[in-house]
Structure 1
Amino acid sequence: MGNDIFSEVKDTGYREEAQEIISEEFFKVLRSRRSVRVFKDDPVKEEDMQKILDAALLAPNSSNLQPWEFYWVKNETKKKELVSACLSQPAAATAPELIVCIARTDTWRENAKQMLEIFNSAEGVPDAAKNYYEKLVPLAYSQGPFGLFGLIKRLAVFITGLKKVVPREPVSNAQMITWASKSTALACENIMLAARALGYDSCPMEGADSKRIKDLLHLGSGAHFVMVISIGKRSEKGIYGEQIRFDRKKFIKILE
């Protein structure tokens, strides 16, 4: 199969028209998303929370393996424990709703199997796509007991990479955490933008006791804390100052 799955353009016959977008409304949402530290007591509508959570699941993600979970903590006792685990910071303590965002490194096999089941029940799916989930996904994401297969892959990638272009990660359990966290972080942005589009505000919180949060949610070693996101209506004192961004030249590099 080689690099065909990456380099060849396959025509599956599927067509989907892009929807018309009022671009200024999108940029209004983008510009008005702020990290709100204090919220009003106003509740968030149940249907709006469901839309916000659904938006997370629309995020792009690696190989469509969807290595994430999102916990909407509604139980008041557990919510108090979660606030405490978030260091009782006002962004958590005053928020009507809290979502815990978790990256999963132990669900890729199950989700790859589900992708194959979907492909096998559909017509016109290229063999290369099926082969990707049957052969390449296990090769790419399996690290083996104690990470031993990852070590073998690391050596093989190094030798192969001396002469040709080759995907170099993930070849360790640590890189698997990075892999899953990247996709989960994309979903976190969807959550915050969806909240703003619905008239709410948010605050992403990485400063938290990840072990206590995992214990609270009864999560095992394959679950990795990414952030807690608070959702609600901003208080008039909820934003501590103007948004500070450094000169764009510091970060944006154009290669001509």
Structure 2
Amino acid sequence: MTRLISESPILPASPAELRLLIEQRRSVRRFTDEAVPDAVLRDCLELATLAPNSCNLQPWSFQVIRDPELLRRLHPVCLNQNAARSAQVLVLVLARPDTWREACQQIIEQWPEAEVPPPIRDFYRRTAPFQYNQGPFGLLGCFKRWLVRVVGLRRAVMRTPNSRAQMRLWAVKSTALAAENFMLAVQSHGYASCPLEGFDDVRLRRVLTIPRQAVPVMLVAVGKASEKGVYNPRLRFPLERSVTWL
């Protein structure tokens, strides 16, 4: 069912409030035994799915792991990191380069107005399927790479994704935005999180049922921060190191 986001007269959070929330978010590696309510997790996941994403195809999925036995089996998969061992919940964040076709159809079927605008219908029935379809064995992607080289000699063109590897990158970029939304939402509820990229992908698939083409982007540990959950003071390089003003 389509979720409608109503226009609200309430003013958004101030820059100071947003800065405080972002500054308070730290990667917490030790959690207490306090449970995380399902209602909190659901709200955070809903906010995660409001993240901006490519062509609104929402190429992500999430697995919320609460079962104690599954959590225990994931400890060695996560290299026995303290964040995984002490978390009450682990959320597996998956990029889904394989769901674009289904998403195109769902957007048309679930459009939140009585009529789907013709440009929208045309995009999701013709343009997007051509753009994201790589064909059997990636052969269509090979053709498109040749095509954009020729057409790109005369005008700007969309040059990617035109391979299965580029599709994976395409999905991961949007999914990472959703993961950040999720962690900030967790922080806003008074809980803490830690993104875990250190895990054994092969063993992860032995413990959890993961679609073959899905890309595990990260596991997010969630819980109530313990007193010594943050190990070190924050270090960030000066802005001038990474920003160029043109």
> TM class by shorter-chain length?
over 0.9
- Which moved further from structure 2: 99-108 or 78-87? 78-87
2-structure distance, mates of 1:252, 1:116: 40
User: 1:214, 1:225 within 8 Å by CA — same for their partners in 2?
Assistant: no
2:235 to 234, 241, 244: 244
2-structure distance, mates of 1:158, 1:32: 46
1-structure distance, mates of 2:151, 2:185: 43
1-structure distance, mates of 2:75, 2:150: 49
1:28 aligns with 2:20: yes
1:214 aligns with 2:205: yes
Task: Write the letter of the residue equivalent to 1:131.
Answer: D
Task: Write the letter of the residue equivalent to 2:223.
Answer: G
2-structure distance, mates of 1:215, 1:170: 30
1:150 aligns with 2:126: no
Task: Output the TM-score relative to the length of structure 1.
Answer: 0.89
User: 2:108, 2:116 within 8 Å by CA — same for their partners in 1?
Assistant: no
RMSD (CA atoms)? 1.6
Shift of 1:31: 0.5
Relative to structure 1, is the Cα distance of residues 153 and 20 closer, same or farther in structure 2, using a 3 angstrom cutoff?
same
User: 2:66, 2:88 within 8 Å by CA — same for their partners in 1?
Assistant: no
- Which moved further from structure 2: 149-158 or 212-221? 212-221
2-structure distance, mates of 1:224, 1:27: 31
Task: Output the TM-score relative to the length of structure 2.
Answer: 0.93
2:153 to 145, 155, 162: 162
- Which moved further from structure 2: 15-24 or 83-92? 15-24
Deviations 1:75-109 (A, max 9, x none): 22211112221111001101111100001111111
Deviations 1:166-199 (A, max 9, x none): 0111000000000111111011001110011000
1:59 to 51, 57, 62: 51
Deviations 1:49-71 (A, max 9, x none): 22112221111111111111100
Shift of 1:124: 4.7
1-structure distance, mates of 2:81, 2:235: 21
2-structure distance, mates of 1:18, 1:223: 39
Gaps (5+ residues) in structure 2? 1-5
1-structure distance, mates of 2:155, 2:214: 34
1-structure distance, mates of 2:176, 2:126: 27
Residue number in structure 2 paired with 1:78: 70
Task: Map 1:39-118 onto structure 2 (within 5 A).
Answer: 39-118=31-110
Residue number in structure 1 paired with 2:226: 235
Relative to structure 1, is the Cα distance of residues 151 and 206 closer, same or farther in structure 2, using a 3 angstrom cutoff?
same
